[in-house]
Amino acid sequence: MQAKIELKGILIVNKPSGMTSHDVVDAVRKKFRMKRVGHAGTLDPLATGVLVVLIGKATKLFDQFSSFDKAYEATMTLGLVTSTADIKGKTIYERPCEDIAQTQVEEVMKKFVGEIEQIPPMVSAVRYKGKRLYQLARKGIEVKREPRKINIFHLNLLDFKRPNVKFYLECSKGTYVRKIAEDIGDVLGCGACISQIHRTKVGPFCIEKAISLDEVNETHLMRPDEYRNML
């Protein structure tokens, strides 16, 4: 009897909103009827866009993929601060933002470009004494987090319709978009939270090449050697 050939390769999935990255991995596992599936670079349930899914022996490439720079289009809502730094969280406070001008936002954004330090949010997957921060946050526990160095390569305003500010961000691994929005809101003095996140790029993989979960099949699997030719 001929041995079954194990699938291996890379899928670039356009993650829908409302699903966790793990939900996407589970859906791909069921589609291909195999266990060896993982993702490189978590997206929050709120977020959409490029999610790199590794299949079979391609999961060995995880460390390479997790180190890629990323790009996002996102929207923050001024004047609203929540427990999770996004629109889905519990409201902590609201402040007026009618006096915030577009030029002010652009000036503040400039301060975040370059190498900066960022404190991971409590809803992140960063580990603390063996536990994920988001696991502690669900129990109402907040712990001290050490700041981490990240790089913001580009941070540009795309649209300003108060209270919503749409922006484009290119950044290094380990950057939390919701924290960028929260910190910008703090500097402006009105507070802010993320209301939409769309990842447009992970390393060489762009949203234009991403497929929906409904489209997932073997024909969309990229071989590891094809990926290397993109670098």
The angle at the Cα of 63, spanning 60 to 68, to the nearest 5 degrees, equals 130
Q: Please return the burial class of 180, using the count of CB atoms within 10 Å of its CB with bins 0-12, 13-18 and 19+.
A: buried
Alpha-carbon span 102 to 121, nearest angstrom: 26
Given 23, 26, 44, 69, which residue is catalytic? 44
What is the DSSP code string of 47-94?
-EEEEEEEEGGGGGGHHHHHT--EEEEEEEEETEEETTSBTTSPEEEE
44 given a catalytic annotation: yes
Alpha-carbon span 82 to 96, nearest angstrom: 15
Q: Decide if 3 contacts 51 (C-beta within 8 A).
A: no
Q: Do the bridges between strand 164-171 and strand 70-78 make them parallel or antiparallel, or are there none, so unpaired?
A: antiparallel
Catalytic residues: 44
